[in-house]
Amino acid sequence: MIRLSGIAKSFGDNTVLDGVDLNIAEGRVTALIGPSGSGKSTLLRTANLLEMPEAGTLEIGDAGVAFAPGQRPSQAEILTLRRRTGMVFQNFQLFPHRSVADNVTEGLVTVWKWPAAKARGHAMTLLEKVGMAHKADAWPATLSGGQQQRVAIARAIAASPTLLLCDEPTSALDPELAIEVVDVLRTLAEEGMTMLMATHDLRLAAQIADHVAFLDGGQIVEEGPPETIFRTPADPRTTRFVGTLLGAAGGN
């Protein structure tokens, strides 16, 4: 189980997360939805400490850390938690000076100290899984956005993380390219990968997520199965937000 309890985060006078509690079951997919500025990406980034909360606790399996104002977790605590997560960014964040295969092996070799040959073999297996083995020696700049994101997913899961974090994984892609990424993430979900994703893409959330949490104003307003959140939400704020997204999708 992954638990975020009482998570609080501010930027100056702006409170972005206000005592958020969220449990993520192992082998399940949780989608964070909400308007821009609601705190969903910040909450996602606290799960691997790219953003450091000021209060609350974070637990990933048997590793955990508590936060308090003016206190920073030790480097050992930070590394322990980060090594249990993989991150897929909105804009891919591939190393432009590394080949596709080298992007996947970089962390395995430099962080986990795998032999280069072992890392290359593992990378090829993962690239095959995401349909990118034929581009192993290509440069990222020669790939489409969908292809780059599939490579980024292979890189994120290379070290077999406990939790895969996806920050708007399809928002930078055209609809046709987004389908490629949705298919890869669906396969990972079917294989039991535990995921937490922030997304505006209701199709992605509806097809992949087991659980949806709607954030607004730095708090979880409502959470539950996607069919409940998208069809019969209890809170009027959720109803308005989902209706806005469905209306925008219908107009495309």
CA 35, CA 196: separation in Å to the nearest integer?
17
Could you identify the residue written with the tokens 């890189």?
Answer: 155
Quote the distance between the C-alpha of residue 178 and its chain's center: 15
Predicted pLDDT of residue 250: 56
The architecture that CATH gives domain 1-84+165-174+195-252 is 3-Layer(aba) Sandwich (3.40)
Predicted pLDDT of residue 3: 97
Structure tokens at 49: 């400490």
Predicted pLDDT of residue 144: 96
How many of the other CB atoms lie within 10 Å of CB of 84?
19
Q: Tens place of pLDDT for every residue, the chain, 252 residues?
A: 899 999 999 999 999 999 999 999 999 999 999 999 999 999 999 999 999 999 999 999 999 999 999 889 999 999 999 999 999 999 999 999 999 999 999 999 999 999 999 999 999 999 999 999 999 999 999 999 999 999 999 999 999 999 999 999 999 899 888 999 999 999 999 999 999 999 988 888 999 999 999 999 999 999 999 999 999 999 999 999 998 877 666 555
Structure tokens at 41: 């990406």
Predicted pLDDT of residue 176: 87
DSSP structural state of residue 33:
E
